[in-house]
Amino acid sequence: MVSQSLQYVQHIKDIMDRVVDTQYKQIDEASNIIVEAIKNNKCIYVFGASHAGIIAQEVFYRTGGLVPINPILPASLMLNVRPVSHTSAMERLEGYGSEVLKTTKIEAGDVLLIHSVSGRNAVAIDMALDARQKGVYVIALTNISYSSQVTARHSSGRRLYECADLVIDNCGDFEDSCMAIEHFDQKVAPSSTVIGAMIVNMMVVQITEKLIALGIKPPIYHSANVDGGDAFNKQMFEKYKDQIHYL
């Protein structure tokens, strides 16, 4: 018997193809916005609650990644909180996203990427609405098909894709789990983490290419595990100290 895990791999490839076919323009536009922010010495922030926060961790302080990326990682919304079900309660608490945003140094001209697969919870919606009021450019990474089939957990009645300046669809399945297994009545294996990581790293590649074309040396980390890596990264810390807030 051949495991359906191979079908999962093929399904992920199919989703990747859909993203490239339908979302490339939006990904390209997101990279343009971030390039402008870097040129203008502005900051880039990334937020996601619970598992969505894995994408925020994917893009900061790592080899091959952009230096001026600031994750928003409130402890109450991260997977190491106990009990972990607390994250579900907090991401539904209206007003909490506004309070989280106040703890950052975000300001007009900055960019905020918010990752939320369902896009229905209050924390992401509050954060998007408040950021836009501040003059921050908001990019939503979400699942439009999924989100459009659920109601908002926010008094505005809006979901994340209805609150952002630019929306990137991860093209995933409803509920995110995507594989139907015989003799089992619910799907297994989500796709949003691997697809989300692909999307944000596509953006990193595009941003790097565009900065080079403008004659700007891209602010990219070296691995701390190669000779000279620590010294190089220390120089990056110093050069971009006004744009990074996680040290």
pLDDT value at 2 more than 80: no
Coil, helix or strand at residue 111: strand
Burial 63-89 (b: 16+ CB within 10 A, else e): eebbbbbbbbbbeebbeeeeeeeebee
**CATH classification code of 5-239:** 3.40.50.10490
Pair of tokens at residue 210: 């565009």
CB distance 144 to 159 below 8 Å: no
Which 8-state DSSP code applies to residue 190?
E
- The residues, any chain, with a CB within 8 Å of residue 78's CB and separated by 6 or more, are 50, 53, 87
**Amino acid occupying residue 227:** D
Report the distance separating Cα 55 and Cα 198, nearest Å.
10
What global pTM score does this model have?
Answer: 0.96
Q: What does the alpha-carbon distance between residue 108 and residue 131 come to, in Å, rounded to a whole number?
A: 8
pLDDT at 21 over 70: yes
- What pLDDT is stored for residue 1 in this prediction? 64
Q: What is the pLDDT of residues 139-188, one digit of tens each?
A: 999 999 999 999 999 999 999 999 999 999 999 999 999 999 999 999 99
